[in-house]
Amino acid sequence: MNDIKATVSETVTEQNTAISVGSGSLAVYATPAMLALIEKAACEAIAPLLSEGETTVGTLLNVKHLAATPVGMAVSATAELVERDGRKFVFAVTASDECGIIGEGTHERFAVYSERFTEKTYAKLNK
């Protein structure tokens, strides 16, 4: 879709390993960390398309984590917009380390108005 995509990177540290985030017992790049990096890439890709007061929220991740990455290695995530249906954005996503692809799949986000979304969410506390 007009080449709307973004790539973001980070280095695997002790803080984003499976053992540190509670998603496993090994000192390797955590799946939740990979997913967060993928979401960050998607957010950056579509930020220029959003209006004032608008943001997006992640609603679906369908991603395979294909290979482990050790502490100290760089990882990157790329999100490319492949479909837009009103307020829904669909991305093809990949994650890679210095040796190749470590994750791939799809990710969906929905555009929302920040203030209204936050008010509705925090109204749950008053029920």
52 is known as an active-site residue: no
Q: Which of 7, 44, 65, 104 is catalytic?
A: 65
107 is known as an active-site residue: no
121 is known as an active-site residue: no
Q: Which of 39, 56, 80, 108 is catalytic?
A: 39
**Shortest CA distance to 46 belongs to which of 102, 115, 96, 112?**
112
The partner residues of 58 in beta bridges, in order of sequence, read 109
d(CA 46, CA 68): 28
Strands (E), the chain: 5-11, 54-65, 74-85, 88-97, 100-113
Q: Which of 17, 31, 55, 56 is catalytic?
A: 31
Active site residues: 31, 39, 65
